[in-house]
Amino acid sequence: MTMTLTGCGSGSGGDVTLQLVAADYGDGKSNGSQHYWDQLARGFEKKHPGIKIDVHVYSWTDVDKKVADMVDAGHAPDLAQIGAYADYAAKGKLYSADQLLSIPTQANFTPSLEEAGEYKRVQYGLPFGASTRRLFYNKKLFAQAGITAPPQNWNDIAHDAQLLKAHGVKMPFALPLGPEETQAETLMWMLSGGGGYTDSIGKYTIDSPENVRTFTWLKDDLVGKGLTGTDPAKLNRGAAFKAFADGDVGMLNGHPTLMKQAEAKGIDYGTVELPGTKGKAKATMGVADWMMAFKQNGHRAEAGEFLDYVYSDKNVEKFSGEYGLLPVTTSASQAMQADDKYTKLHGFLKQLASAEFYPANKTSWPLISKTVKARMGAAVHPNGNPSGVLTDIQNTADAADSATE
């Protein structure tokens, strides 16, 4: 999807056109992101007649590569709203946040998101759209299986999954470790087992004892006992969400957009914080996408003006509400928390401040994410070797980190 937006200004010789490449958050033409950017850009251009906004919207499948190709060809966009920023920051191609934004705008980002946007302690990635994860469960299926409360720990998950299986539920616990978003499901389980991708100083800890224990439990106690209903390596997140909305899944880890899918199909669901080994997980996973401004065309001041407008409360709230995402600014988050219209999002929103994110500030992360996508599904197969897989990925991570030092 490509769309060019023309300005409402006088067209004087001093006009600047900012090129923005953005990702599509919609699930069809009717709610594609082009509509959001169209309205936003026209509103901005009316107030800033000397600046025009030229927006090109691409699917998530294509957008990161599109920007990479443009940069490699020497034609970087002025602005990109994509999945990763660290590689461009490491190569000195981006303006930092303090070079772009007014002080009130920069200070308004949710602190955990601001920190996740830092490369070597300088913020280059501006968060754009965030989410956290919770465990979803089908209330009707739970009631039919005689389960009176949602799971609080791993023993509850295994116990409830057995009851659901005995009552004929196709997928008692959907475990999407197919290539679509394996890196997310992997991190959720790492956190629930007390581990993670990295330690407090940013060193990869993929093969930690906690992580090995987590994936061994999944292999033996869920997959090995037939409680996932299908081979996790062949189940993508999109298919798992659809199966939940179709009433075929008892439990799964999900993000806010699953609520709309489930409600559209009349599913009565509940959500709880991710269960851990003995109680709640130490943290939930947070995900943010990133806005960044490239230096190449020298449009620092104009890009900053536009970004101040993008991050106004009105525009942040509109985007978040339309696409079922969490606001990335403190003031918009407070407004959503106080609005009963967003009650079902409040649980996700409360978790954002303490959520843990992908190590997106590491230039090696894209390679490690790709490796996790290719390998982790096999690790939990009944004949798999979780420790061996995690060690192999750790070795890849160590080599990648060494190469960039």
Per residue in 129-151, pLDDT tens?
999 999 999 999 999 999 999 99
Report CA 248 to chain centroid distance, whole Å: 25
Cα–Cα–Cα angle for 355, 328, 76, rounded to 5 degrees: 110
pLDDT in tens, 164-184: 999 999 999 999 999 888 999
Amino acid at 348: F
Q: Is residue 398 part of a domain?
A: yes
Residues 121 and 227 in one domain: no
DSSP label at residue 293: E
Alpha carbons within 13 angstroms on the beta-carbon side of residue 247 total: 9
Q: How far is CA 123 from CA 58, 166, 167, 287, 302, in A?
A: 25, 51, 51, 17, 19
Q: Which pairing describes strands 118-119 and 122-123: parallel, antiparallel, or unpaired?
A: antiparallel
Q: What is the pLDDT of residue 26?
A: 83
**pLDDT confidence band for 65 (50 / 70 / 90):** very high
Mean pLDDT on 91-103: 98
Residues 224 and 181 in one domain: yes
Residues 272 and 165 in one domain: yes
Q: Is residue 71 part of a domain?
A: yes
Q: Is residue 5 part of a domain?
A: no
Residue 54: strand pairing partners: 19
pLDDT in tens, 180-217: 889 999 999 999 999 999 998 899 999 999 999 999 99
**pLDDT confidence band for 14 (50 / 70 / 90):** low
Q: Is residue 64 part of a domain?
A: yes
Residue 333 pLDDT exceeds 60: yes
Q: Is residue 89 part of a domain?
A: yes
The enclosing H or E element of 87 equals: helix 86-90
Q: What is the pLDDT of residue 404?
A: 73
Q: Which of 318, 336, 356 is the last residue of a domain?
A: 356
Q: What span, in angstroms and rounded, lies between the C-alpha atoms of 224 and 175? A: 13
The answer to whether 123 touches 97, Cβ cutoff 8 Å, is yes
Q: Is residue 164 part of a domain?
A: yes
Q: What is the pLDDT of residue 10?
A: 32
Residues 394 and 332 in one domain: no
Q: What is the pLDDT of residue 24?
A: 92
**pLDDT confidence band for 3 (50 / 70 / 90):** very low
Q: What is the pLDDT of residue 29?
A: 72
Mean pLDDT on 94-117: 96
**pLDDT confidence band for 321 (50 / 70 / 90):** confident
What length is written for the chain? 405
Amino acid at 238: G
Q: What span, in angstroms and rounded, lies between the C-alpha atoms of 253 and 244? A: 11
CATH number of the structural domain spanning residue 253: 3.40.190.10
Residues 141 and 260 in one domain: yes
Residues 263 and 211 in one domain: yes
Our count of domains for the chain comes to 2
The answer to whether 20 touches 81, Cβ cutoff 8 Å, is yes
The answer to whether 365 touches 86, Cβ cutoff 8 Å, is yes
Residue with tokens 């957008």: 63
Domain ranges, residue 242:
134-285+362-403
For the residues of 13-80, what is the DSSP string, one character each?
TT-EEEEEEEE---SSGGG-HHHHHHHHHHHHHHH-TTEEEEEEEE-TTTHHHHHHHHHHTT---SEE
Residue with tokens 């009707």: 140
Share of the chain above pLDDT 90, in %: 86
Q: Is residue 9 part of a domain?
A: no
**pLDDT confidence band for 11 (50 / 70 / 90):** very low
Residue 288 pLDDT exceeds 60: yes
Q: Is residue 293 part of a domain?
A: yes
Residues 116 and 138 in one domain: no
pTM for the model stands at 0.86
The answer to whether 294 touches 80, Cβ cutoff 8 Å, is yes
Three-state secondary structure call for residue 275:
strand
Residues 35 and 114 in one domain: yes
The enclosing H or E element of 132 equals: strand 126-132
**pLDDT confidence band for 260 (50 / 70 / 90):** confident
Query: For 69-78, 211-220, 295-304, 316-325, which range has the lowest pLDDT when averaged over its residues?
Result: 316-325
Residues 228 and 376 in one domain: yes
The answer to whether 33 touches 23, Cβ cutoff 8 Å, is yes
Alpha carbons within 13 angstroms on the beta-carbon side of residue 139 total: 9
Q: How far apart are the first and last CA of the chain?
A: 38
Residue 396 pLDDT exceeds 50: yes
Residues 175 and 225 in one domain: yes
Residues 261 and 388 in one domain: yes
Residue with tokens 């559209």: 264
Residues 238 and 209 in one domain: yes
Q: What span, in angstroms and rounded, lies between the C-alpha atoms of 277 and 218? A: 12
Share of the chain above pLDDT 70, in %: 96
Residues 6+ apart with CB under 8 A from 215: 189, 376, 379, 380, 386, 389, 390
Residue with tokens 């090129």: 19
**pLDDT confidence band for 405 (50 / 70 / 90):** low
